[in-house]
Amino acid sequence: MKIVAVIPARLGSTRLPRKPLREILGKPMIQRVYEAAHASGLSDVLVATDSDAIRDLGKRLGMRVEMTSAACQSGTDRVWEIAQKIDADVYMNVQGDEPLARAEHVKALVALMQRPEVKVGTLKTPCPAPDIHNPNAVKVVTDYDGQALYFSRATIPHDRDFVGGIAYFKHLGFYAYQKEALQKFPKLRPSDLERIERLEQLRFLENGISIHVAETPFDTIGVDTEEDVKRVEDALRREGRT
C-alpha cells in the first residue's frame, strides 16, 4: 500500500496571521508537523501550499513542497489536488496547525487504513476537561464499531440530566482517505452541516460516506489563537519536546 502524507498549509488565517510560519519555541509550526510525519517512517511526506513564503521556507529546511491552487477551499481540496498528480493508494491529511503531532498519530492512521472496509479514517482522544466546552476543540461520537456518528464544536453527547461520568472524545486533525473516497470529495455537494459547523469532514457523513475513527492516547492542540500557541509551548516543555 502506497501512502502519501500531505500537510496542507496556507497563510490566510484570520485569527492568527501567517500561522504555518509562526515559530513554536524557535521552530516554525509547519516544520514541527513535517518532522512528526517523517518520523513515522513514511517515505512520501510533503507540504501542499499556495504560498511562496511557505514554499521558500520549506526549501530552505529541506522539506518537499508542492504548489497547489489558491482556490482550494479546504485542506481536503488541497489533498485532492495533490492526488491528481501523485499516485497512491491512500492519502493522509496531516493538518499544518497541529504542532503537537507525533509519529504515533500517523502510525495509528496507517494501521486503521489497512482494513479494506475503511475508506476514510481519522483519530480521537479522550477529551481533556478544558476542551469539553471549547468550540475550537471538535468533539466526536462514534458507534460500537468505531464509525463516526457526528462531529461538532458543541459539547456532544449532551448530558441532559446531569448524570456525569460522560466519556467525551476530542477529534484530532488527522485524516486518511482511500483514493476512491478522496476522488469523490470535490464532486459532493457541500453539506449544510459542513457550512454550519465549519467542519469539512461532515460533507462525507452527510453524503453517506462512513468515517472510521481510531483512538490514540496522545492529545494535540490545534493552533488558532495566541492562547493556543502558549498552550502548545507549555505542552512541549512538559513533554520535553523543545
Euclidean distance between CA atoms 235 and 222, whole angstroms: 12
Residue 66 to residues 52, 86, 94, 145, 188: CA-CA distances in angstroms?
Answer: 11, 10, 15, 36, 25
Euclidean distance between CA atoms 13 and 18, whole angstroms: 7
Euclidean distance between CA atoms 126 and 155, whole angstroms: 13
Euclidean distance between CA atoms 228 and 233, whole angstroms: 9
The DSSP element (H or E) to which 68 belongs, if any, is: none
Euclidean distance between CA atoms 47 and 146, whole angstroms: 29
Beta bridge partners of 5: 45, 92
Side-chain half-sphere exposure of 217, counting CA atoms within 13 A: 0
Euclidean distance between CA atoms 183 and 180, whole angstroms: 5
Best CA proximity match to 31, nearest among 94, 75, 81: 94
Euclidean distance between CA atoms 89 and 125, whole angstroms: 26
Euclidean distance between CA atoms 24 and 121, whole angstroms: 28
The reported pTM is 0.93
Residues 141-167 have pLDDT tens digits of: 999 999 999 999 999 999 999 999 999
Tens digits of pLDDT across the chain (242 residues): 999 999 999 987 777 889 999 999 999 999 999 999 999 999 999 999 999 999 999 999 999 999 999 999 889 999 999 999 999 999 999 999 999 999 999 999 999 999 999 999 999 999 999 999 999 899 999 999 999 999 999 999 999 999 999 999 999 999 999 999 999 999 998 889 999 999 999 999 999 999 999 999 999 999 988 999 999 999 999 999 88
Best CA proximity match to 2, nearest among 162, 127, 125, 110: 110
Question: How large is the angle between the packed helices 103-112 and 29-39, nearest 10 degrees?
Answer: 50
Euclidean distance between CA atoms 148 and 150, whole angstroms: 6
**In order of start, what are the domains of the chain with their CATH numbers?**
3-239 (3.90.550.10)
Tell me, rounded to whole angstroms, the distance of Cα 160 from its chain centroid: 30
The DSSP element (H or E) to which 91 belongs, if any, is: strand 90-94
Euclidean distance between CA atoms 32 and 184, whole angstroms: 30
Q: Which amino acid is at 219?
A: D
Q: Are 108 and 23 in contact (CB under 8 A)?
A: no
